[in-house]
Amino acid sequence: MRKTIRLEAIDPIEIFGAGNKILEEFCSYYPELKVVARGDEIILDGPEARVEDFETKFNELIQRRHRKMNLTIYDVEDIFDGETSPDRFRLNGDAVIVHSTDGKPIRARNRTQQEMVKAYFDNDLVFAVGPAGTGKTYIAIALAVRALKNREIKRIILTRPAVEAGERLGFLPGDLKDKLDPYLQPLYDALGDMIPHRKLSEFMADGTIQIAPLAYMRGRTLDRACVILDEAQNTNMGQLKMFLTRMGCNAKFIVTGDATQVDLPNKADSGLLKGISLVEGIKGISIIRFSNEDIVRHPLVTKIVKAFDKGLTEE
C-alpha cells in the first residue's frame, strides 16, 4: 500500500526534528515500511495494516506537538510504550531469535531451548538450570537483545555473583571494575556475538546495557528491563531473594545456573535449588531444566560432564 501524509498548518521541522532525528526515531518502529519525507509530505509504502498504524500513531505525535513547546525522541517512546502488543514479537520455539553480527541466525538448537524461548513469552520470571554447555545464558541474552531491538524493553541488565571459581583475583591490577570484569567476561562475549562492537560500546556508555556484580543490584527497582542473573548457583538464599525482589513494572527476569558447579566455600549455602523449590508452581514463573543431552558445545563436553558426574557419584 502506498499513502501520502501531508502536514498542514505546521512546520515540518517541528515534527521531524533537527536533522529528522524525531522522524527517524518514529520510523525505527516500522522497519517493514519504506518512508520518504519530502517537504511537508511523508510518503509511505508497505503492508496496509502497518501503513494505517503509522498514520494513527503519527497523528498522535502531531497532537502531542500541539500540547507542548517542543518534541523529543522521548515523546516518540511515550507514544509506543505500553501500546505495542507483546504478541506482535512473540516467537515460536524454533524461530530465529536474533542474527549474530556476522549475519548468522541464532535460534533454539534443541527441544529444551525451545521450551525456554516459549517460557520467556509466557512468564515474567524464568529459571533455566542445568549443566555447562547447554546454552542457557546464550539463549537468555539473545532473548534480551531481541526485546531491546524490538523496543519491548529499555534496558538489559546482566549480573553475576562475584564468586571466585577456585582462583584468587584480588592480586590483579586496576580498579574495582578491572578486578570484577573477569567474572563478567562471558556476558560480554555473548553480547559481542549479537551487537556490533561500536553499538555495544554506545549501549554500555549510556546505560542501555549494564553488566554488574550481583551486589550492585541491592536497592534498585528495575522497570521495563530484561534482567539476567547468571551463575545463580553461587548465590545464597538472601542474595537470590534480593535479586528477585528487584523486579519492577514490565520487566522480564531470567535466572540461569548449574547446581553441580557451586563455587561457594560451603556448597550447601547455594540458594538456587532451594529458591526454585519455594517458587515452583507460582503463576508467572517457569522452571526449565536442562540435562546432559542438551549440551550444544563440543561433543566432548557431554562426555566430560558425564564422566565427572559419574566420578562424583562414586565418591
Q: Is the pLDDT of residue 177 over 70?
A: no
What lies within 8 Å, CB to CB, of 38 at 6+ separation is none
CATH, residue 266: 3.40.50.300
pLDDT for the residue numbered 272: 96
Gap between the Cα atoms of 25 and 15, Å rounded: 11
The answer to whether residues 179 and 63 belong to one domain is no
Give tens-digit pLDDT for 218-246: 888 898 899 999 999 999 999 999 999 99
What separation in angstroms does the CA of 14 have from each of 9, 18, 24, 35, 63?
11, 8, 14, 18, 12
The confidence band for 167, taking pLDDT boundaries of 50, 70 and 90, is very low
The answer to whether residues 66 and 105 belong to one domain is no
Mean pLDDT throughout 120-136? 94
In the chain, % of residues over pLDDT 70: 88
Q: Is the pLDDT of residue 169 over 60?
A: no
In 3D, which of 133, 150, 86, 138 has the Cα closest to residue 108?
138
The answer to whether residues 168 and 55 belong to one domain is no
CATH, residue 14: 3.30.1370.10
Mean pLDDT throughout 184-199? 90
Secondary-structure breakdown of the chain: helix, strand, coil percentages, each rounded to the nearest 5 = 45, 20, 35
pLDDT for the residue numbered 151: 78
Please count the structural domains in the chain.
2
The answer to whether residues 180 and 38 belong to one domain is no
- Average pLDDT value over all residues in the chain: 85
Whole domain around residue 250: which residue ranges?
Answer: 89-314
Q: Is the pLDDT of residue 7 over 90?
A: no
The answer to whether residues 217 and 283 belong to one domain is yes
Q: Is the pLDDT of residue 143 over 80?
A: yes
Classified as helix, coil or strand, 225 is strand
pLDDT for the residue numbered 218: 87
Mean pLDDT throughout 31-42? 90
pLDDT for the residue numbered 81: 64
pLDDT for the residue numbered 291: 93
Lowest mean pLDDT segment, chosen from 26-30, 82-86, 263-267: 82-86
The answer to whether residues 261 and 222 belong to one domain is yes
The answer to whether residues 208 and 131 belong to one domain is yes
Which of 80, 107, 125 is the C-terminal boundary of a domain?
A: 80
* Neighbouring-strand partners of residue 99: 105
Gap between the Cα atoms of 304 and 260, Å rounded: 13
Q: Regarding beta strands 125-129 and 252-257, do their DSSP bridges make them parallel or antiparallel, or are they unpaired? A: parallel
Q: Is the pLDDT of residue 191 over 90?
A: yes
Give tens-digit pLDDT for 299-311: 787 788 778 877 6
The answer to whether residues 73 and 115 belong to one domain is no
